[in-house]
């Protein structure tokens, strides 16, 4: 694969994001070495939370959550998906597959960082990838917080709001990353925040990841990732792993998935699942402190 790497100076002076940049190399026998960028906050010996972002954002999305979790004594680790943030960017859309993204995050979390007893917090594609990680590595996880996410198999159609987004990404001659993030928020982003979401992508050649991910969501029963996602559902639906839904009250893309997760996951039964009020798809932007409070209460309740 031809790999692009965003120049470091693109990340200078990002508002409210002064976490040191960290990197881990992951190696795949077929696809070679890819560098993954990430940030950490909180005590190294605290309970660990893995914060996975989605499309088309990066770990900057979790800046408020990171600080709040650290204040609660939790080690928060927020990587950038390959193709996003400070992580390397395979230059062709065809370089990005669902299976590769799962493997890249698996290698990061377990081969590079050797995370154990970790709680997944997955939003958007952070759940599509993260729930696969959990199902395929149950012994590494202590719990799951699903926040505006799901695990589609292609057996039911995606909502109209998602298809609108899918088509907009497919048809855009210039992919306006900040506009797509803003569209998923209730609050108005500042100019500096919008620039921070654009920072990983100096020009269109760097945007293969954001362009690829919508097309990788399974939308037909015979999609390339459908069988693996069904297998993940089968595993998770009989697992007692503690499971919390923390969805917002304003996300037309994932709202229908929340009751399914609550009813299907044994570890979700008997829990009080909070609704994050006044928040859109990117609830980390609209209600980051409240999401962090919910996650911290869940994590501390596991001990």
28 is catalytic: no
25 is catalytic: no
Which of 95, 124, 223, 286 is the catalytic position? Answer: 124
Residue 144 has a CB neighbour count (10 Å cut-off) of: 26
Residue 272: Cβ-neighbour burial (10 angstroms; 0-12, 13-18, 19+):
exposed
Coil, helix or strand for 211? helix
Coil, helix or strand for 49? strand
300 φ/ψ angles, rounded to the nearest 5 degrees: -70, -25
d(CA 168, CA 80): 23
281 is catalytic: yes
Return the DSSP state at 79: E
Strand order in the sheet with 48-52: 22-28, 32-41, 75-79, 48-52, 118-122, 141-146, 243-245
Facing residues of 141 across strands?
A: 118
Which of 251, 273, 286, 300 is the catalytic position? Answer: 251
Which residues are CB-contacts of 99 (< 8 A; sequence separation ≥ 6)? 224, 225, 228
CA 121 vs CA 15, 47, 97, 103, 176: distances in Å = 23, 13, 22, 18, 26
So which residues are the catalytic ones? 124, 251, 281
């Amino acid at each position: 694969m031809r790999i692009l790497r965003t120049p470091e100076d693109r990340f200078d002076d990002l508002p409210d994001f002064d976490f040191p940049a960290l990197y881990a190399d992951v190696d795949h026998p077929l696809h070679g070495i890819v560098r993954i960028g990430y940030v950490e906050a909180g005590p190294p010996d605290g309970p660990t939370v893995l914060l996975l972002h989605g499309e088309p954002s990066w770990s900057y999305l979790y800046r408020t959550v990171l600080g709040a979790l650290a204040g609660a004594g939790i080690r928060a680790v927020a990587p950038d998906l390959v193709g996003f943030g400070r992580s390397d960017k395979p230059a062709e859309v065809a370089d990005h597959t669902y299976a590769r993204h799962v493997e890249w995050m698996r290698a990061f979390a377990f081969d590079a960082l050797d995370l154990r007893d970790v709680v997944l917090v997955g939003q958007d594609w952070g759940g599509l990838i993260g729930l696969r990680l959990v199902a395929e590595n149950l012994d590494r996880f202590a719990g799951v917080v699903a926040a505006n996410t799901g695990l589609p198999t292609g057996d039911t159609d995606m909502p109209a709001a998602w298809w609108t987004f899918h088509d907009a990404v497919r048809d855009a001659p210039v992919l306006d990353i900040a506009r797509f993030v803003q569209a998923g928020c209730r609050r108005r982003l500042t100019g500096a925040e919008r620039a921070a979401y654009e920072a990983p992508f100096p020009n269109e050649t760097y945007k293969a990841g954001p362009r690829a991910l919508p097309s990788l969501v399974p939308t037909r029963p015979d999609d390339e990732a459908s069988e693996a996602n069904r297998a993940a559902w089968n595993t998770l639906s009989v697992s007692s792993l503690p499971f919390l839904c923390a969805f917002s009250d304003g996300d037309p893309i994932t709202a229908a998935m929340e009751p399914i997760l609550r009813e299907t996951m044994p570890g979700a039964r008997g829990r009080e699942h909070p609704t994050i009020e006044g928040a859109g798809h990117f609830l980390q932007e609209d209600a980051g402190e409240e999401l962090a409070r919910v996650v911290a209460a869940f994590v501390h309740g596991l001990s």
